[in-house]
Chain A
Amino acid sequence: MPAALEVLNPAADPPTLAIAFALARVPAGFPSPADDHLEAPLDLNEHLIKHPAATFIVRASGDSMRDAGIHDGDLLIVDRSLSPRNGSIVVACVDGELTVKRLQKCGGRPYLTPENPAYPALWIDAGSTFEVWGVVTNCIHRLH
C-alpha cells in the first residue's frame, strides 16, 4: 500500500518510519528462507491507513471530544470510504460547517454527541443539511 507520506508530501520518500524488527521467531539454526524477502521496516501508514486514496489527515481543534481521547491539536485520520456505524466518531458536515462528533441515531434521526459534559448534544433539524464527511479511524496524540 502507498505510504501516508505519499499522501501528505508528494516530494518526500516513503516510508516515514524505519524500525528494524525481526518477524520470524527462530528456535534454532533454521532461518526462514522468506525472511530475506519479507522483512521490511515497520510502516505506520500500513497500520493507520487502510484506504490511502480515501484517507485524509485533519487537525482537531477544541476540547468537546476530550473524553474520547481527542485533544486540541491532535491529528485525526479520516477515512471517507467507510460507512459510519451508530456510535462512530465522524467528521460531520452540518450546514456547510465541519465538526468532529460521535454519530448516534435515535428513531432514524441522526444526532451528534460531544464527549465532554460541558457541551450539549447537537440534533440535526429537518431544515439542516447534514452529511458524514468521513469516519475518524485513529487519533494521533503527541505525548513527548
Chain B
Amino acid sequence: MSLPTAFTGSTKPRVFALADCNNFYASCERVFNPALRARPVVVLSNNDGCVVSRSNEAKAAGIGMGVPVYQVRSLIAKHKAAVFSSNYALYGDLSRRVMQVLARFTPSLEIYSIDEAFLSLDGIREPGAHAAELRATVGRWTGIPVSVGIGPSKALAKLAARAAKQAPMGVFACPDEPAGRDALLESTALQDVWGIGPGFARRLERGGIRNALDFARADARWIKRALGVVGLRLALELRGETCLALEEVPPAKREIATSRSLAYPTADKGELEQALAAYVSRAAEKLRGQHATAGALWIFLHTDQYRNEPQHYGSRMAVLPVPTDDTAELMAVALELFRATYRPGHRYRKAGAILTDLRHGSVQGSLFDARDREKSRRLMAALDAANRAWGTGTVRYAAEGFEKPWRTLCNSRSQRYTTRWDELLSVAT
C-alpha cells in the first residue's frame, strides 16, 4: 500500500534505533560482582521462583526462560550458575542511568520498557558509528551491555536489534537495499515479529503467511480484515513506513506500560500529576484484567527534545512493600515518585507509568478494586492506623502469606547497591 506523499507527510527518510539491554537483570547483577562474568547467571521472579533473566552462559547451559527453578536445579548445580531473586531497586536504578546516557545520543528518546528505548537518529550522518559509540558509552558508564538495531521504522529497528544480539559489535542496521531487507524479513519467523502473538500468528498462517516477508508483502486490505488496523500498521512498518506512535506500539513482555505524549508541553505540576494518575489508573485496570499484581512501579517524564529549553529525562522506581493491584495505592506511590522526579521550570512532553515484577495468581481480590474507592480508602486507613498503633506489619495483606514457600529466596537477592546507604558495595583497599 503506498499513499501519495501528501498523505504520509514528510518525505525525509526516518532513522530509528532500538537500544536493548542484553539479559538486563543478569547483567545488572554482574556490574557489582564482576566475578560473575565467568559464571552463568540466573535471576528468578520473586513470587514463584521462575527464571526471568539469564546470562548467555545460562542460556547455553539449557536453562529455559520462565521455568520454575526446581526444574533446573541439576543444571544450575552442574554449571555452577549463580542464582538471584529479583532486585528491582537495583534494576530500576541502573535502568534510569542507562536511559540518561542514551538521552545524550539523540534529540528524541522514547523509553519503551525497563531495558529498551527507541532513539531517533534522523539527520545523523553515520548511524552505525553513532550506535557503536552509544553502545560503548553505556557499557563504560553503567556497566550494562546493550545491543542496537537500526532501521527506517520502529518495527524494523526492533527486528534489527534481534540480529544485533548475534552481531560481533552488538550493532546491526537493517539493510537499505530491498534484497538485503527481504532476506532479513524472510529469515524472521512470524512469532519473532514485534506485536505478533500466537493468535495473530495462527490467523496469518491460515492465510498462507509463513514469515515476516510474506506478512510485509500481503495485501493491505486482507491484513486489515484479518488483524485489524494494528496488524496493518505492523505490516507497513515492516515495509519501512513509519506509522506507529510510541503509544501504539505493542506492550513489552512481563510489563504493563501506559505512556502518552501530552497534548502540549507543560511545566504545570497539577496537570502532570493528573496525567500520570490517569496512566496509572489505566495500567492498574489492565493489571486486574490479567488477574495479576505488580511488585514494582516505575514512572518516567521527558521534556520536548525539539525545543530549545531546559531538558530533563527523569525516571524513578519504587519497590512496593506488598504486590498490589489497587489503583489508589499504586497512584499514591506514583505521585510520590513523580514529586521526587519532577523539576520545576521544565516543560514536560511525555509521561508514563510501567508496572513490573508482575505476579499472576496471587490477586488480593475485589476488596481492593478501585471501583469501590471509598471502601478501599477506609480499609487502607484502618490498616494504616492499626499498623501505626501496634507496629508495622501487624495487619497485613493475606497475599503476603501465600509467598512463604519462596520467602527463603529473598535471601538470594543481591544488595541494593545504589539506593541504600547500608547496602553499598564494599571494596577492599
Report A's interface with B, CB cutoff 8 A: 2, 6-14, 51-54, 56-65, 70, 72, 75-76, 80-81, 91, 93, 96-101, 114, 133
Contact residues, B284-334 vs A (CB, 8 A): 314, 316-318
Report B's interface with A, CB cutoff 8 A: 34-38, 89, 92-93, 96-98, 100-101, 137, 140-143, 314, 316-318, 336-337, 339-340, 417-421, 424-429
Taking CB atoms, residues of chain B closer than 8 Å to A13 are 339-340
Give the complex CA separation of A64 and B427 in angstroms. 12
Most buried by B among A53, A59, A96: A53
Please tell me if the beta carbons of A70 and B429 are within 8 angstroms of each other in the complex. yes
Given A65-B429, A96-B34, A96-B35, residue A75 in contact with residue B424 (CB < 8 A)? yes
Please tell me if the beta carbons of A62 and B424 are within 8 angstroms of each other in the complex. no
Please tell me if the beta carbons of B100 and A58 are within 8 angstroms of each other in the complex. no
Taking CB atoms, residues of chain A closer than 8 Å to B93 are 7, 10
> Does more than half of chain A's interface fall in helix, strand or loop, or is it mixed?
mixed
Give the complex CA separation of A91 and B101 in angstroms. 21
Give the complex CA separation of A62 and B429 in angstroms. 5
A54: nearest chain-B partner, CB-CB? B141
Please tell me if the beta carbons of B97 and A54 are within 8 angstroms of each other in the complex. yes
Taking CB atoms, residues of chain A closer than 8 Å to B418 are 7-8, 56-57
Taking CB atoms, residues of chain B closer than 8 Å to A70 are 429
Q: Which of B140, B337, B429 contacts A101 (CB 8 A)?
A: B429
Most buried by A among B420, B421, B429: B429
CB of B271 to closest CB in A, whole Å:
21
Taking CB atoms, residues of chain B closer than 8 Å to A114 are 429
Given A7-B418, A96-B34, A98-B34, residue A57 in contact with residue B424 (CB < 8 A)? yes
Please tell me if the beta carbons of A10 and B429 are within 8 angstroms of each other in the complex. no
Please tell me if the beta carbons of B429 and A64 are within 8 angstroms of each other in the complex. yes
Please tell me if the beta carbons of B141 and A80 are within 8 angstroms of each other in the complex. yes
Taking CB atoms, residues of chain A closer than 8 Å to B421 are 8-9
Taking CB atoms, residues of chain A closer than 8 Å to B428 are 61-62, 64, 97-100
Give the complex CA separation of A61 and B424 in angstroms. 11
A89: nearest chain-B partner, CB-CB? B429
